[in-house]
Copies of this chain bind each other. A is one copy, B any other.
């Protein structure tokens, strides 16, 4: 299972929105979740994730809130916003369109 990081690049924001639509999470958790759910395919670097979360929050697609655990640890939980959900819906369509286009090139149908 070899990862080509270029491929992932364009889908990072969508992956985050998709995950946080299912459930609010904090950064460190997101990294672990993505790795586990994808059977170790996705291994987000912190230098990739945190700036991405900040970007998405700044553009209003996510909303981050600090929470303190029982043991006093600080975590920043990210929730998807209404705007974020709309963006996610749009991205799902774009993803399918992209797949269709890729298939037309990769697997050309004989006329």
Chain A residues within CB distance 8 Å of chain B = 1-11, 13, 15, 18-19, 22, 34, 37-39, 41-42, 90-95, 97-102, 104-106, 108
Contact = CB atoms under 8 A, between A and B. Distances in A.
- Residue among A1, A6, A13, A90 with max Cβ neighbours from chain B (10 Å): A6
DSSP class of A's interface residues: helix, strand, loop or mixed? Answer: helix
A10 B41 CA distance: 16
Contacts of A98: 3-4, 7-8, 41
Contacts of A102: 11, 15, 95
Contacts of A9: 6, 9-10
Contacts of A5: 10
